[in-house]
Amino acid sequence: MKTLTVDVAILGAGTAGLNARRAAEKAGKSAVMIDPGPYGTTCARVGCMPSKLLIAAAERAHSAHAAAPFGVNIPEVQIDGKAVMARVRSERDRFVGFVLESIEDHLAAGRLIKGRGRFLSDSQIQVDEHTLVNFKTAVIATGSSPFVPPPYRDLGESMIDNEGLFDMEDLPGSVLVVGTGVIGLELGQSLHRLGVRTSIVGIRGVVGPISDPVVREVAERVFSEEMDFRSDHKFESVTRLEDGRVELKADGRTDVYDLVLMAAGRRPNVMGLGLENVGLDPRKLPKVDPRITQLGDGNIFIAGDVSNFRPLLHEAADEGRIAGMNAATYPSFEAVPRRTPLGVVFSDPQIATVGLSWSAIQSRGHCTGEVDYSRQGRARVMGTNKGWVRIYGDCQDGQLLGAEMFGPATEHTAHLLAWAIAQRLTVYQVLEMPFYHPVVEEGIRTALQDLRKNLHFREKSAPCKELKASM
């Protein structure tokens, strides 16, 4: 068996792993990545990029179907499922190809060992049956995998996840999407708009990442008006029929689908890594400070989706950099401040969360400003006037704290709020910024004006007025 000695051993060659290696080497340390494949990063291969390709096709179809109110009549919209999926696969492969080029370079240079790594101790990893890696510190960046709830685990080929969806050559006739989180919303709505008979079912009233009950109620209503969307379905049974279709009994009804798309969330890839050999329980990992990424109090760090902190590409890149840097300087650390939280769901209307969420902010004094997008000028012009946005500010000084957003173009307006929060701006300072007319951004100005009206500065003991939306 081959033996290799490095300063930093990195399990995983995705976004976090690649950035960890780069940071460790920048600090003057030797590093090697260990990964069995497939390569290409989750984002490029099965995540953000192929999903946006499917969403782009769905947006074109929806625009054509929704053209009549503008006086534009399109007699018949035909969707070529094979052509849709051919473009998804082709462009996906292009994005993955860019990553694979660098992977080939890493393999050739010996910076990447192909195989599955397992800790033997806190100083040695075995890669399959061919290599022993001696290390001083290690970074776990093994990503995550789709979770399948127990009732669905016997459906065989009648069930796929998002990874399988992007390899399909044609659109299915009907699909049951299990999960009303980010993945279920984006893919389920896209399939619906591409002519696939679609049901999206979830539990506990989950609608993407929304925790604000006012925003969630609006989103639930809007999605339910467009398609079969049940965020708290009453499950009875699911059965694979003899012809391969799937029968779901729920909410007092029975439906049959060609396929089940599993989108019930993802779980960190920690099993099988030999963590018990380094004094860690993979079923209950210790809490990690995301500014340091140290796993427990030893020489092992964790980064990316496997950390389950914020499973987003830009966060994985940051975590990989922090983990690689601190692994290189261990036992010394640098606590690196994390960016203002920012997440976007590319549904229609879009969902965005910025800064502190409604659920996280309940323990501190805050006030709320809101806007109803059904009345927003530019949104009405474009026929996209659906949604509700709530912005939270500190009662004492008016500093912006966070927002939960459901509306048109929130991928852009959320960035504006994220930048303002990162700069610790107050609602007064943000309202001094220019807002052009007519633009969708005027919607968040309305919410900011509402927040300013409801802030209490002089009477610090006065409770904040928490607005309630009138449905």
**Based on the structure, what is the number of domains in the chain?**
3
- Interstrand relation of 366-372 and 350-355 (parallel, antiparallel or unpaired): unpaired
Could you report how far apart the first and last alpha carbons of the chain are, in Å? 68
In Å, what is the CA distance from 409 to each residue of 3, 47, 232, 354, 379? Answer: 53, 21, 27, 14, 9
C-alpha torsion sign, points 122, 128, 133, 137: negative
Strand order in the sheet with 253-257: 235-240, 246-250, 253-257
Give the pLDDT confidence score for residue 97 in this predicted structure: 84
One domain, residues 189 and 49: no
Q: What is the pLDDT of residues 244-253, one digit of tens each?
A: 999 999 999 9
Q: What is the mean pLDDT of residues 333-354?
A: 97
- Stretch (H or E) spanning 377: helix 377-382
Give the pLDDT confidence score for residue 467 in this predicted structure: 39
Q: What is the mean pLDDT of residues 357-374?
A: 91
- Stretch (H or E) spanning 134: strand 131-134
pLDDT, averaged across the chain: 93
Determine if residue 128 is left, alpha or beta; phi over 0 gives left, psi from -120 to 50 gives alpha, anything else beta. Answer: left
**Cα three-residue angle 93-127-31, rounded to 5 degrees:** 75
Give the pLDDT confidence score for residue 402 in this predicted structure: 98
One domain, residues 84 and 11: yes
One domain, residues 192 and 247: yes
Residue 470 domain flag: no
Q: Is the pLDDT of residue 104 over 90?
A: no
Q: Is the pLDDT of residue 465 over 60?
A: no
One domain, residues 273 and 251: no
Q: What is the pLDDT of residues 180-206, one digit of tens each?
A: 999 999 999 999 999 999 999 999 999
Give the pLDDT confidence score for residue 95 in this predicted structure: 84
User: In 3-state terms, what secondary structure has residue 350?
Assistant: strand
Q: Which stretch of 177-186, 220-229, 332-341, 450-459 has the lowest confidence by average pLDDT?
A: 450-459
One domain, residues 65 and 114: yes
Neighbour-count burial of 366, counting CB atoms closer than 10 A to its CB (0-12 exposed, 13-18 middle, 19+ buried) = buried
One domain, residues 24 and 116: yes
Give the pLDDT confidence score for residue 37 in this predicted structure: 86
Query: pTM (2 decimals)?
Result: 0.93
Residue 471 domain flag: no
- Say which CATH number the domain at 21 has: 3.50.50.60
- Interstrand relation of 2-5 and 131-134 (parallel, antiparallel or unpaired): parallel
Give the pLDDT confidence score for residue 456 in this predicted structure: 63
Q: Which stretch of 165-169, 246-250, 462-466 has the lowest confidence by average pLDDT?
A: 462-466
One domain, residues 142 and 274: yes
In Å, what is the CA distance from 73 to each residue of 38, 70, 383? Answer: 46, 8, 15
One domain, residues 62 and 101: yes
Residue 346: domain span: 342-454
Question: In angstroms, rounded to a whole number, what is the distance separating the alpha carbons of residues 337 and 8?
Answer: 23
One domain, residues 247 and 394: no
Copy the structure tokens of residue 348.
């229609």
User: In 3-state terms, what secondary structure has residue 145?
Assistant: strand
- Say which CATH number the domain at 369 has: 3.30.390.30
For residue 388, give every residue at least 6 positions away whose Cβ sits within 8 Å of its Cβ, in sequence order, or none.
214, 215, 218, 219, 370, 371, 372, 373, 406, 407, 469
Question: In angstroms, rounded to a whole number, what is the distance separating the alpha carbons of residues 398 and 413?
Answer: 19
Question: In angstroms, rounded to a whole number, what is the distance separating the alpha carbons of residues 326 and 320?
Answer: 10
CB 118 within 8 A of CB 272: yes
One domain, residues 410 and 427: yes
For residue 163, give every residue at least 6 positions away whose Cβ sits within 8 Å of its Cβ, in sequence order, or none.
45, 46, 146
One domain, residues 62 and 120: yes
Which is nearest to 299 in space by CA: 137, 462, 185, 144?
137
Q: Is the pLDDT of residue 466 over 60?
A: no
Give the pLDDT confidence score for residue 198 in this predicted structure: 98
CB 31 within 8 A of CB 321: no
Q: What is the pLDDT of residues 267-283, one digit of tens each?
A: 999 999 999 999 999 99
Residue 118 sits at φ, ψ, to 5 deg, of -145, 130
